[in-house]
Amino acid sequence: MRSTSYVALAVAACLILASGCDSDADAGADADNGGDRAASVPITKKAIAAVLLEHLPPDPIERSGTPRSVELTYWIDDSSAGNEEEVEVSISGATGDPCARMGDALTGCEVEKIDDGELTVYWQEEQPFEDPGILYLVMVREDDSVTLEYSGVLIESDPRKQEFVRFTFEDMVDAVTDPRLGLTTTQDAVDAGAELEWP
């Protein structure tokens, strides 16, 4: 935290050097708020993974991705093939209605205001012996969107009230709405991702 004398000196300097005062004040505000704007850098797949692993279990059996998407796979009960839960998180510049393209095929589509955007949850319940159902969570902000696709347990009812295995619905909400996920992120997130072991 800056001392009183330091702040006084900074103000005096601004009065003397009028040009640049506004930018200096903005930079100081960014530093006081964690430097999010000052440290805004293009996101990487490792940065996405690092953020996700703060909200989801740290022991996926498989990780894969592209520059703007990451897929994490977890065993459910044992190591049997197909007995898995997966989340795939992708980031794009699309900001339209996530449910529009699905039409009447959906069982539910719910929208909630979240901080600086809207969280849409849409799903289709299972079709016995045909389809396990689908579940998507989409966080739409002004300039980009973050989409989480879940697969694993059958979608038998409203997923907001359903139990999952390795993580909860709230964990998925926390992951997809994390403000560090977007077309840009913080330098800290990129640095954390760089420390991950990645195939």
Beta strand 41-42 with 69-75 is unpaired
* Residue pLDDT, tens place only, 136-192: 999 999 999 999 999 999 999 999 999 999 999 999 999 999 999 999 999 999 999
Domain contains 199: no
Domain contains 184: yes
Whether 9 and 72 share a structural domain: no
Confidence of residue 35 (pLDDT cuts 50, 70, 90): very low
Where in the sequence is the domain holding 80, given as residue range(s)? 41-194
Whether 95 and 124 share a structural domain: yes
Whether 9 and 105 share a structural domain: no
Domain contains 77: yes
Domain contains 162: yes
Domain contains 66: yes
Whether 55 and 143 share a structural domain: yes
Domain contains 91: yes
Whether 102 and 172 share a structural domain: yes
Whether 128 and 142 share a structural domain: yes
Whether 80 and 142 share a structural domain: yes
pTM (2 d.p.) = 0.79
Which of left, alpha, beta for 49 (phi over 0: left; psi -120 to 50: alpha)? Answer: alpha
Whether 153 and 169 share a structural domain: yes
Whether 56 and 6 share a structural domain: no
Q: How far is CA 100 from CA 23, 120, 165, in A?
A: 42, 11, 30
Domain with residue 108: its CATH number is 2.60.120
Whether 117 and 78 share a structural domain: yes
- According to the model, what pLDDT value does residue 152 have? 94
More confident residue, 36 or 97: 97
The number of folded domains in the chain is 2
Whether 54 and 148 share a structural domain: yes
For residue 171, which phi and psi values (nearest 5 degrees)?
-60, -40
Q: Report residue 177 CA to chain centroid gap.
A: 5
